[in-house]
Amino acid sequence: MASGLQLSRDELLAAYRRMRLIREFEEAVHTEFSAGNIPGFVHLYAGEEASGVGVCMHLDDRDAIASTHRGHGHCIAKGCDPSGMMKEIFGRKDGLCGGKGGSMHIADLSKGMLGANGIVGAGGPLTCGAALTFKTLKTGGVAVCFYGDGASNQGAILESYNLAKIWNLPMIFVAEDNGYAESTASSWSVSGSQVGRGEGFGMPSRQVNGSDFFEVYEAAGEMIERARSGGGPSLLHVKLTRYYGHFEGDAMTYRLPDEVAQARQNSDPLNLFRQRVVEASLFSPEELDAIDKHAADLMAQTVIEAKAAPAPIEADLLTDVYYRY
């Protein structure tokens, strides 16, 4: 039995609820963006839920994560308020960042969410900084850097591997490999392997199936525990599939016609989770259906609230320009 199934019923439900909330959030953003209701640019995390949730289940508010341009799932997994996030994406005044950041800059420092980030690979140095702070102040905190297969080729990420290892920082690198950087397949652009790269820098490194919450949860748990107890950084290579385009509006001509349909049918992280816990007689399908319905209703309400929320006014342009530490 995978160790994740030894989680308590409450923990299993919390994990499933978080993954379902992310899925419903992303489906709602997809619908609203297609209808022309959302300004700016969005990149959806649907299909990748087990990674963010499997890792963040081990974290609390003293821990920090840095996210990517595909950040909604990481935000929800780390405990950000979905209603504040939706308002942020709609550019509303009471969005999580005052409506000034939008999809790619959602942050909530009170939750240790250092921010989604439009700069590919920028999370590496940020999390090294957070982890150095935790180590210096002996807070017991751990920092997690989420980044994509494309970002894994950025110099800033490779320099961060070196810093993290040489300073023995309490952090983990989570390479979320959905097989593409925009339209470029990682088989064309990534030399060697993510695990080989991590090991080259002296870090314990492992590849897991990102459709399998339990596999991610178990591997991340071991790595976070090691980081928390002074054992230094590790690298987790998570193989997964994104269900939508690189950005909303991407025609995805570079993917096989049935690629996404196959993944949705055969390796959906939510379906696999359901299958596992139902087969183990831990939950009935009806109990999980009730969570699905609650998440769908909550997201529908979140969209209604975001649409009704006030926009920033001109005077708001001059507030929050600098952050006061």
Beta strands in 170-278 (DSSP E): 171-177, 180-181, 184-185, 205-209, 234-239
Q: Where does this chain touch ligand TPP (CB under 6 A) — which range of 18-26, 113-121, 251-259, 303-311? A: 113-121
Q: How far apart are CA 28 and CA 46, in angstroms?
A: 11
Nearer of residues 71 and 232 to ligand TPP, judged by Cβ: 71
Tell me which of 11, 60, 61, 182 binds ligand TPP, using CB under 6 A. 182
Among 24, 26, 49, 149, binds ligand TPP (CB under 6 A): 149
Q: Which of 188, 186, 191 is nearest to 176 (CA)?
A: 186
Select the residue whose beta carbon is closest to ligand TPP and give its number.
148
Interaction with ligand TPP in 116-145: which residues (CB under 6 A)? Answer: 118-121
Which listed residue (123, 148, 210, 269) binds ligand TPP by CB under 6 A?
A: 148
118 binds, among Mg ion, ligand TPP, none (CB under 5 to 8 A by kind): ligand TPP
Q: Detail the DSSP E strand segments found in the chain.
A: 64-66, 143-148, 171-177, 180-181, 184-185, 205-209, 234-239
Q: Is 194 in the site for ligand TPP (CB under 6 A)?
A: no
**Run of H or E including 164:** helix 155-166
What residue ranges bind Mg ion (CB under 5 A)?
148-149, 178, 180
Q: Residue 58 or residue 246: which is nearer to ligand TPP going by CB?
A: 246
Number of neighbours of residue 250 by Cβ within 10 angstroms? 14
- Read off φ and ψ for residue 298, nearest 5 degrees: -60, -40
Instruction: Determine, following the binding rule CB under 6 A, whether residue 150 of this chain makes contact with ligand TPP.
Output: yes
Would you say 58 or 69 has its CB closer to ligand TPP? Answer: 69
Closest to 220 measured CA to CA, from 158, 160, 172, 153: 172
227 vs 220: CA distance, rounded Å = 10
The answer to whether 70 contacts ligand TPP (rule: CB under 6 A) is yes
- Nearest approach in angstroms of CB 183 to ligand TPP is 9
Q: Considering the complex, what minimum distance in angstroms separates the CB of residue 279 from ligand TPP?
A: 31
Q: Does 249 bind ligand TPP (CB under 6 A)?
A: no
Q: Which residues pair with 74 in a beta bridge?
A: none
Residue among 45 and 283 whose Cβ is closer to ligand TPP: 45
The β-bridge relationship of strands 180-181 and 184-185 is antiparallel
Name the one range near ligand TPP by CB under 6 A: 105-113, 146-154, 291-299, 314-322: 146-154
Based on the shown chain and the rule CB under 6 A, indicate whether residue 111 belongs to the binding site for ligand TPP: no
Q: Say if strands 143-148 and 205-209 run parallel, antiparallel, or are unpaired.
A: unpaired
Residue 72's DSSP bridge partners are none
Return the residues of window 261-280 that contact ligand TPP according to CB under 6 A.
none
From the list 50, 107, 181, 288, which residue makes contact with ligand TPP (rule: CB under 6 A)?
Answer: 181
Provide, rounded to whole angstroms, the least separation between the CB of residue 181 and Mg ion.
Answer: 5
- Taking alpha carbons only, the member of 92, 85, 77, 62 closest to residue 18 is 77
Amino acid at 227: A
Enumerate binding residues for ligand TPP (CB under 6 A).
68-70, 118-121, 148-151, 178, 180-182, 246
